């Protein structure tokens, strides 16, 4: 199996059942045009986030790492009437692109992008949030975990992206700060009795990686 196959299968699945619409494709195009890096989740991953949030009836969603707003659109579309998404983004330029794409998707009223470092912004938020998607700097994941736990309730769901990293996650001698951050998060989750977690390895148009999902215990 090769990257070419994974990409072709993602394309097939996108056309058959994932079906990203013009607002989603437009947000990727706007990100490209503005020179943002092409590191948004895939359509299949975005749809998974949407389905998870819908399945649990999430009314308040917190995202850390907005980029151009692609995953934010998927997440905000999961909200019921009266629901709200807050997304934290370090880069003012990324936030500006994201706000424009959210507005074009008709989500300006339900999705708010706040600019700043996630760790600075988290303490300014009031919980609880039902669903968290953490996709910013991986070094910060252990701190984001603590911060999000403080804003959670029993039954809240957290999803952390990029938690397998081409399999580098099993390298205990790594000096890569992103891998070290992910490994520290696994250690912290393992030592935290208030959560139940799993991780799923994935392949697709963005290569080989995986996501970690956890539920805050009742
Ligand atoms: C992988 S991208 C997010 C992709 C987005 N979730 C999507 O799928 O469409 C990571 C984003 O996190 C932002 N970021 C990096 N460090 C951050 C920090 N300390 N606080 C908040 N955002 C940060 C980056 O500027 C970048 O836009």
CA of 94 to the centre of ligand 1 (A): 8
Characterize 31-59 residue by residue with b for buried, 16 or more Cβ atoms within 10 angstroms of its Cβ, and e for exposed: beeeebeeebbbbbbbbbbbebbeeeebb
- Joined together, the tokens standing for residue 151 give 């804003």
Please name the residue ranges forming H helices in the chain.
3-13, 22-33, 43-55, 70-76, 92-104, 118-121, 141-150, 177-190
pLDDT tens digit at each of 218 positions of the chain: 799 999 999 999 999 999 999 999 999 999 999 999 999 999 999 999 999 999 999 999 999 999 999 999 999 999 999 999 999 999 999 999 999 999 999 999 999 999 999 999 999 999 999 999 999 999 999 999 999 999 999 999 999 999 999 999 999 999 999 999 999 999 999 999 999 999 999 999 999 999 999 999 98
Characterize 81-93 residue by residue with b for buried, 16 or more Cβ atoms within 10 angstroms of its Cβ, and e for exposed: eebebbbbbbeee
Beta strands 195-204 and 207-216, pairing class: antiparallel
Query: Which residues does a 6 A CB cutoff place in the pocket of ligand 1?
Result: 39-41, 64-67, 70-71, 88-91, 94, 117-118, 135-137, 140
Residues paired with residue 158 on neighbouring β-strands, in sequence order: 132, 214
Closest to 83 in 3D by CA, of 65, 109, 118:
109
Interatomic CA distance for residues 161 and 164, integer angstroms: 9
What's the whole-model pTM score? 0.98
CA of 9 to the centre of ligand 1 (A): 26
Using alpha carbons, list the distances in angstroms from residue 196 to 72, 148, 209, 214. 25, 15, 21, 5
CA of 48 to the centre of ligand 1 (A): 19
Report pLDDT for 205.
Answer: 96
Closest to 212 in 3D by CA, of 155, 148, 135:
135
Interatomic CA distance for residues 112 and 63, integer angstroms: 10
Asked if residues 154 and 207 have their Cβ atoms less than 8 Å apart, the reply is no
CA of 66 to the centre of ligand 1 (A): 5
CA of 46 to the centre of ligand 1 (A): 15
- Atom 19, ligand 1: residue with shortest CA distance: 117
Q: Give phi and psi for 4, each to the nearest 5.
A: -60, -40
- Atom 11, ligand 1: residue with shortest CA distance: 65
DSSP state of 130: S
């Amino acid at each position: 199996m090769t990257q070419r196959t994974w990409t072709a299968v993602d394309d097939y699945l996108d056309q058959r059942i994932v079906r990203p619409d013009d607002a989603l494709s437009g947000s990727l195009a706007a990100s490209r045009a503005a020179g943002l890096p092409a590191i948004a989740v895939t359509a299949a991953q975005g749809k998974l986030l949407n389905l998870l949030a819908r399945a649990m009836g999430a009314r308040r969603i917190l995202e850390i790492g907005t980029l151009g707003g692609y995953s934010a659109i998927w997440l905000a579309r999961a909200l019921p009437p009266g629901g709200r998404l807050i997304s934290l983004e370090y880069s003012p330029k990324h936030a500006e692109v994201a706000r424009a794409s959210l507005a074009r998707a008709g989500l300006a009223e339900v999705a708010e992008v706040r600019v700043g470092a996630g760790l600075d912004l988290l303490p300014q938020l009031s919980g609880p949030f039902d669903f968290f998607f953490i996709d910013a700097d991986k070094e910060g994941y252990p701190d984001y975990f603590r911060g999000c736990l403080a804003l959670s309730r029993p039954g809240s769901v957290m999803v952390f992206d990029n938690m397998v990293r081409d399999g580098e996650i099993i390298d205990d001698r790594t000096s890569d700060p992103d891998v070290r951050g992910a490994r520290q998060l696994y250690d912290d989750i393992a030592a935290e009795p208030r959560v139940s977690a799993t991780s799923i390895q994935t392949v697709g148009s963005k290569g080989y990686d995986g996501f970690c999902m956890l539920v805050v215990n009742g």
